[in-house]
Amino acid sequence: MNIIIIGYMGSGKSTIGKNLSKILNYDFIDLDDYIQEKEHLTIPELFEKKGEIYFRKKEQLYLKEVLKETNLVLSLGGGTPCYGTNMDTVLATDGARSIYLKSSIPNLVQRLTPEKLTRPLIAHIQTDEDLTEFIGKHLFERSFYYNQSHHTIVTDHKSVQQITEEIIAGLF
């Protein structure tokens, strides 16, 4: 079985994915890290040097490549399910289960504020109020895709262990 972790940036996809893969003895792949390794550029560099369209095409290609593996926990980028046919690809993959890590806007703002400079999508946002508005708008646009996941786990006020246990209980 492959487990695909979906959610907005800052929702804990990589942290939960790594913990889940350890417990299940599965391989872990963060799709953004995989893309950076294959392209020999960071995600911000890819956006800057080659553009978002190039990035999204490569993201789709590498998603399909990675989904051929088995016994894998895969963490997607926050926008991955929302572009092209990526969510359809996830849902159509035999033996794959998708998990949406759903975090509230205030929780995301709290997590993302200290990380703004390392996240190109929000690096330009100055205030928490503007970040709140930005995240709210994005979540509204992306919820159609995120909500297609096989399972939804609300992450607010839960530890990594609690979330991991909840995922395992829902899958097995």
| 3-class secondary structure, 151 | strand
Condensed to tens digits (0 to 9), the pLDDT of residues 100-118 reads: 999 999 999 999 998 887 7
Residues 97 and 52: beta-carbon distance below 8 Å: no
Mean pLDDT in residue range 17-41:
97
Res 34 pLDDT > 90:
yes
Instruction: Tell me: pLDDT of 172 over 90.
Output: no
The pLDDT of residue 101 is 98
pLDDT, residue 127, reads 92
Is 17 marked within a binding site?
A: no
Query: Does residue 47 form part of some domain?
Result: yes
> Confidence class of residue 3 from pLDDT cuts 50, 70 and 90?
very high
Structurally, how many domains does the chain consist of? 1
Q: Confirm whether 171 is domain-assigned.
A: no
**113 among the known binding-site residues?**
no
Token pair 């999204």: residue: 56
Query: What's 49's domain CATH number?
Result: 3.40.50.300
CB 166 within 8 A of CB 18: no
Q: Is 12 annotated as a binding residue?
A: yes
| 76 domain residue, yes or no | yes
Instruction: For residue 97, say whether it is annotated as part of any ligand binding site.
Output: no
CB atoms near residue 64 (< 10 Å): 13
Which residue segment(s) compose the domain that 6 sits in?
Answer: 2-166
For residue 9, being part of any structural domain is answered with yes
Whether residue 119 is annotated as binding a ligand: the answer is yes
pLDDT at 152: 97
> Per residue in 67-97, pLDDT tens?
999 999 999 999 999 999 999 999 999 999 9
Q: Looking at the domain assignment, is residue 172 inside a domain? A: no
Residue 105 domain-assigned (yes or no) = yes
Look at residue 62 and tell me if it is in a domain.
Answer: yes
51 is in an annotated binding site: no
pLDDT of residue 120: 75
Residue 146 domain-assigned (yes or no):
yes
Evaluate if pTM is beyond 0.75: yes
